[in-house]
Structures are given as structure tokens and as C-alpha cells.
Structure 1
């Protein structure tokens, strides 16, 4: 199996106004700005997405303005709305159980920012950042954790990329019920599955541009929603197989580091990039790779970087090799 290396970094950015966030974002801007849609580059399209953001995420408007001002790049404020981005899809498997959230994130290594960010835009939040300030998964100081997977359907509509939705929920909500309530008024561009966990509840919600938010049968998700999975989709993504596997394994980190949940490179180069285990009631998250782990918390966040080896799925149980902390 071909192995590949990827560097993950952890940074603190505070409220985004002291230059730390901007220094990081400027280094990514050249590759990010190409993800704006053609409509977003027009004056009319830019005005539309600014208005959409103000209408649906008013609490974050001052943060967006602060970040855009710090970034000081053309079209920065339009990009940061995440309402004019080219659609993208990713694999992933996740489960919420007993107050914890466990997920595998699958994508091509060159398409993942790989930045663990501790921020205090509106409140303390830690998560895996992408697209400059969106989140693939994360937790807040109230004990709420959220992560995403692609919904598996090729539908696209006007609305937000799910990354900013995860950020918005964590910045403004204390509980699962509050977050699910806010989802009902947010337009989302691409079908996605969101798993949400707090100390008392866990749930998965199917969302998309062509459907109202729909609560899933349990707090697990792979890459399908309410419609039947085609044979071709199952062959390429093994979404039903992964969902069965994670339901059986529960929040067993070792199982996430073995097939079928841990995925080696497919035809497009997508593979499992990291496993994240959130314990939001404790304010702790541990990121795992076969043979390596990295813990962060609100009480002890450590900036730095780690270069890890991908494509090396664990063969045995692996618990002793990983030195797993107690859940």
C-alpha cells in the first residue's frame, strides 16, 4: 500500500483581530480564491451572498468583517460568507454516543487544510478548520460537538457550504436541540449529514438544498441519506458497509483505524486523513492516526505541527500502540 505524509498544525487565533488568523489565511489565499463561483465574482452575486449571510448568520457578521479586514484581499468578505463556493464532496464516517463524538474524515490529502484551530470569535471553539474559518468538526465551551459527512447525492442549490454552518452552530448554540432548531432556517448548498452531541443527547440530521432537515434513525452517518444507495455508489464508497461497521463498533477508536472504516486511497486519491474523538463535556479532543495521537483541550491547547503517515491502517486492535486516553 502506498503511503503518503501529511502535516497537520495547531494554531491559536483568538478573536481574529490580532493578526494571527490573517497570517495563516494569507498563506492559503491563492489556492482558496479559485474556489469562488463565477456568480460570486459579479457585483450582483457578491451582494446576494452578503445579504444571505446577514439574514441567516447575523451574529457572525462582525466576525466576518473583522476577518475580512485583517485578510485585506479582494473578494475576501465574499469568500468568507461560504455562500459562493464551488461545491465539493468528501466521504467520512461518524457516530455520537454517550456524550462523545467520533469521526473519520476522508478526502484527498492536498484538499484538506489540516489545521486544528483554537478560536474565540464569539466563544471558545476548537475544531479542524477548512476554507479559512469553516469547520469540518469541532466543539465549544458549552459541551456541544458537531461534525459533518457528505450526504452522497449530487444536488446543488443556493445556500451555505456546510463548513460555515458547523462554525455558526458552535459559535451560537449551547445544546443539540438549539442547534437542530437553527438548522431549520439555514439554506445549505449540498446534501450533508451533521452529527451533533451534547452531554444529554446525540443526533444525526440530514440536510440539503432540496429537503428540510430530517432527523436520522440514530446518531450515525456515512455517505447516504434517506434514499436507496445504488450498487455503483456502494461499490465506490462502501457507505452502507461503513455505517453498519460503525454502528457495531460504537465509539471504539481502534475500530476507526482499521478497514472498512479506515480507508486507503481510492481511484481519486481520497483516503482517511484523521480520526477525531471529541469529549465535549471535558473540553477535550484527540486526533488519531495509526500509531500516533495528538490531544488538545480548552484548558491545555498546544500549538505546533505533526507530520503523519497516511495509508497505514492498523491490523490489530491497536489500543496499546495508540495509548488511548479513557473516554
Structure 2
């Protein structure tokens, strides 16, 4: 399978973002309605919950809703409140060297992915990262040198809360340190279980194990795959090899003195790199974040795409995914 990626920069919400929304909205609407319109939260409820949990985001949310055409369904979708459930299989870890470097693999269905890197200056803060839902992020970094990434937490429970990509966006828009990020991750409700790893320019880090049915657990884990303290969804754990991937990373970090490049290269081969696209999802990309340099890279086997927050260059890449039909 060939994926077409784009990197787009727009300091304030405007015609570029509106064009992206018009392009992606038909597919997102189909996904959002798959369980029926009545199952999704109302606009009033969605707005009320945003005001309660992420009040700083309301002016930006209103701007985006207007650019999206002002429709009821678009506004409810953009709130990310109680969206349809979705699963992924990912690995993320901090390089054990002196410099803060966050590395992650994102495993997902390539047909249900934005394939988009966004660089924005919204709310007076520069942010760049991998888009989900056109303003949410599955990983990213801000101009304070704070980097963040998510993995699915490996639990079936679905509750009332926000889709985690918007929570990541909220952290990057409002936080400058890992401590501040931990406070946000502890209080904002999520609709499914996720592990969120954060690192700042001073290499202070945490992994928040978030869930809709219990309090967020803040840990000092430098590795996260697709389970939390214990494996609860056994069939999913076996299918995604979450325990094996975690052990592999911990082994590399404790028993080897990998250079930064060697550590990153581990993510581009098994057991971390997956080509199980025939079963629903495989590794779509490897992302590397270097908070002190305000730089990120997106990698695929044989291809590297470097990007800088301060000198971001728009562009595109066509990538062939190994093992994807």
C-alpha cells in the first residue's frame, strides 16, 4: 500500500484548515455516524463538557466550528466528546541517554488515518505533530520543548470522556512542563484507556495510564505498549504482542548501551515494527521527538522526513508500507 503524507503549516485557523476539513469530513462523518447519530453526545452537552474540562480551548473550538461550516454534526465531532471507540497498537519509549528523545511507533489501519503533520500557532503557541481528527494529535511537541505520545491501554471499557487526541492537543496548547501535563492528564476524562507518555526539555518524564472507569495513574515508566499495570484483554494482548514488545524495549534499555540512532533503529524492525495490515493494522510510521532541538522526524524503512518547529517546511511524501496490500 502506498500512503501519501502531507506536512502543512498555518499559524491561525484559516483557509488551509478549512480545506482540510472539507476534504476529510465525508469519511469522518461516516465513521462518526456508524452507531447512529442519536448515540453521539449533543452539541449542548459537548460544549458544556469542553467548558468544564478544557475552558481555554473554547475560543479555538468555536473558530474551527465556524470554519467547518457551523453544522451541528461537525461541531459535535470536533468536540471529541464521547466519540466512537477505536483501537490501535503502538509502542513508545524514551531513549535512556542524557538528551530527551521520545520514540514511538503508531500501528493503525492506514485507510482510517489522516497521514498529516500539522504545524500551528494557535492560542499563541507553536505546536507540531501527527494529526487525528484534524485538530487532535496522536503525538506532538510544542515550543516550550514538551513532547507527548499515546498508546492504546488494552482495555474494553468505554465510558464518558474525550477522545484522547484532543487531550494531547490540550496538553500541548496549555502546558510547558511534564509536571503541568501530569496535572491535566489526571483530571481530564477520557472515553477509553490510554497510556500517555510526556517528556520536557529537562528530560523530566511520566507515563499517565488513563481510563474512563478509574483514576489516572501517574507513573515514572519510560516504556508504554498496549496494556496498563496488568494485561486485562488477553486476546488483544496476544494479537498485538504488547507484553513481548514491552519486554524487548525494557531489555534494550537496561542491558544495552544503544546510541540514539541504534535505539531508534529498533523501532523499524520486529518485534516493534508490525506488517499485520491484513489483520486490521500495522506500523504506519515511526516518530522521533527531540524537545531541546524542537525537532521531529517521521521514519519509514529507507525513508526519513526531518521537520523543525521553528523552520517548518511544508511538503509531501509518498511512502510504500512493507507488507501492506
- The TM-score normalised by the length of structure 1 is 0.89
For structure 1, list consecutive stretches of 5 or more residues without a partner in the other structure: 314-327
Aligned to 1:264: 275
In the alignment, what sits opposite 1:227? 230
Distance 1:232 1:24 in 2: 37
| Residue 41 (structure 1) shift | 5.1
Structure-to-structure mapping, 1:281-320, within 5 angstroms: 281-311=292-322
Distance in 2 (alpha carbons) for counterparts of 1:43 and 1:118: 29
Per the alignment, residue 317 of structure 1 pairs with none
Offset of residue 110 of structure 1:
0.5
Which of 18, 22, 27 is residue 23 of structure 2 equivalent to? Answer: 27
Deviation at 1:100, TM superposition (A): 1.4
CA RMSD in angstroms, aligned pairs only: 2.0
Helix, strand or coil: the match of 1:142? coil
Shift of 1:267: 4.5
Residue 242 of structure 2 corresponds to residue 242 of structure 1:
no
Structure 1 43/186 Cα, relative in aligned 2: closer, same or farther at 3 Å?
A: closer
Task: Kindly indicate whether residue 109 of structure 2 is the aligned counterpart of residue 108 of structure 1.
Answer: yes
Map Cα deviations across residues 37-90 of structure 1 (whole Å, 9 max, x no partner).
Answer: 668658972211110011111111110111111111522221111003111011
Which of 183, 188, 191 matches 2:190?
188
Structure 2 alignment gaps of length 5 or more: 254-259
Counterpart in 2 of 1:121?
A: 122
1:237-294 C-alpha deviation (Å, 9 max, x unpaired): 1001111122233561110001000001254231000000000111100110000000
**Partners of 2:267 and 2:39 in 1: how far apart?**
44
Aligned to 2:89: 91
SS at 1:281's partner residue?
coil
Give how far 1:224 is off: 0.2
CA distance in 2, matches of 1:8, 1:260: 25
Counterpart of 1:147 (choices 139, 146, 149) is 149
Give the TM-score normalised by structure 2.
0.90
Return the offset for 1:209.
Answer: 0.2
Alpha-carbon distance in 2 for matches of 1:44, 1:247:
40
User: 246-255 vs 81-90, which deviates more?
Assistant: 246-255
Task: Please say if 1:210 is aligned against 2:213.
Answer: yes
Instruction: Name the count of aligned residue pairs.
Output: 309
